[in-house]
Amino acid sequence: MSLAPRILLALVAGLGLGIALTGGWPDGAAAVLPVLRLVGTAWLDGLRMTVVPLVFSLIVSGIASAAGAARAGGVAARALACFAAGLFASAAVSACLTAALLRVWPAPEGAVRALGAAPAAGVDAAARPTLDWLLSFVPVNPLKSAVEGEMVPLVLFALLFGFALTRVAEERRAILPAFFQAVTDALLVIVQWVLRLGPVGVFALAFVAGSRAGLSAAGALAHYIAIVVAACLVVTLLAYPAVGLFGRLSPLRFARAAGPAQAIALSTQSSIASLPAMIAAVEGGLAVPSDVRNIVLPMAVSLFRLTSASANVAVALYAAALHGMPIGPGTILIGAAVAAVVSLAAVGLPSQVSFFTTIGRPFAAVAGGGNAARHLPHGGQRHRRHGGDPDRRRPRAWLTGSKRLPGVPFK
């Protein structure tokens, strides 16, 4: 059995055993809770410790390789432009859909209380982007942003650094991309080590969540997964009419050609593994010229992860809803842009990392036994640092936590 099914089985087993043991033998559950909380939190932190250096290294090396591809010809440059537009559109569609779904099907009230989220009435609904709030995204101190997990300033600095690197002399420029690629490779080895312990870590987190929150934890998880999966599925389905509109190709013909590659991707969770089937599809049913195929397809499996951007935004909006944070349209647009960039930074990162970090974070909130707001990046410190100004605190907290927490529609 592969890793992903084993982790999912551990998730279900942990929730069920935590609920059952707490109901049938409370003293026994109380005895093992501290140990399992320690095990689960340690595993999740081990997974999260690689995120900041990995995102920075991937963005810098990705820009360097993309810039080299763009210089190789007009086809690559047009492909990069299409990738950027598609990722932003994916994030924007996901944001609108997630907000609408959460408006008609909000997170269960019992689950919100069980996870310790602050009630929506405690949030200033007047929070709106301001000039000072936008300026707060400027990476004045990139090292400080990295230490505090402020992903938006860090991503902006990585983008600027990567583009600046393309202007450096060739003999000097070649050193840093190789260095960051080596850093990425080493971090991915660590990620694989941590993922091997995934069944243990997820079981521990799920047991604690089931013990503390009961059936409401399972309900919250099912609701959360349904919302995020729905957003990704709709974005995927919209690709078919987009093919007909922009590619002047029959959606049915495209579906027949893409079917084998999609089946391989679904079974292996790997874009690279589906590349041979993609090549066969464009050679046969789609009749794409070989010069275009040879440039675009390798770039696509590395850079164009359409549902990654949509999942980023869906998770962030769910987190905001769960914690009663109103999100305005301006914040959503910025979040969509950041989600598109972060999805590019996910190149080479196993999909299980983002998924199990995401589902682990609400469990960690329960395992902590306290106010879930303190599990947001920076907790309440940002409130004190900015004098309680919601314009500079809440929207940015949502953006910086886009891959960490799972809750509100636009207000």
| pLDDT at res. 386 | 40
In sequence order, what are the residues at sequence separation of 6 or more whose Cβ sits closer than 8 angstroms to the Cβ of residue 375? 361, 364, 365, 368, 405
The distance of Cα 196 from the centroid of its chain, to the nearest Å, equals 20
Q: How far apart are CA 300 and CA 275, in angstroms?
A: 9
User: What is the pLDDT, as a whole number, of residue 104?
Assistant: 92
CA pair distance 222, 209, nearest whole angstrom: 13
pLDDT at 252: 92
Tokens coding 86? 């598609």
Q: Taking a C-beta distance cutoff of 8 angstroms, is the pair 204, 11 a contact?
A: no
Specify the pTM.
Answer: 0.66
10-residue averages of pLDDT along the chain (411 residues): 81 90 90 93 85 82 70 71 90 92 83 51 46 72 82 81 83 82 87 87 88 77 89 94 90 90 73 78 81 78 83 87 79 81 59 51 45 33 37 34 32 29
Measured between its terminal Cα atoms, the distance across the chain in Å is: 45
Q: Quote the pLDDT of residue 195.
A: 82
> CA nearest 152: which of 136, 166, 163, 164?
136
Q: Which CB contacts under 8 angstroms, 24+ apart, belong to 387-394?
A: 389/132, 390/123, 390/124, 390/126, 390/127, 391/127, 391/128, 391/129, 391/130, 391/132, 391/133, 392/130, 392/132, 392/133, 392/136, 393/127, 394/123, 394/124, 394/127, 394/325, 394/326
Residue 133 confidence (pLDDT):
62
3-state secondary structure 87-116: HHHHHHHHHHHHHHHHHHCCCCHHHHHHCC
pLDDT, position 365: 46
pLDDT at 93: 94
Dihedral of alpha carbons 284, 289, 290, 296, sign: negative
User: Which is it for the CA torsion 130, 132, 134, 137, positive or negative?
Assistant: negative
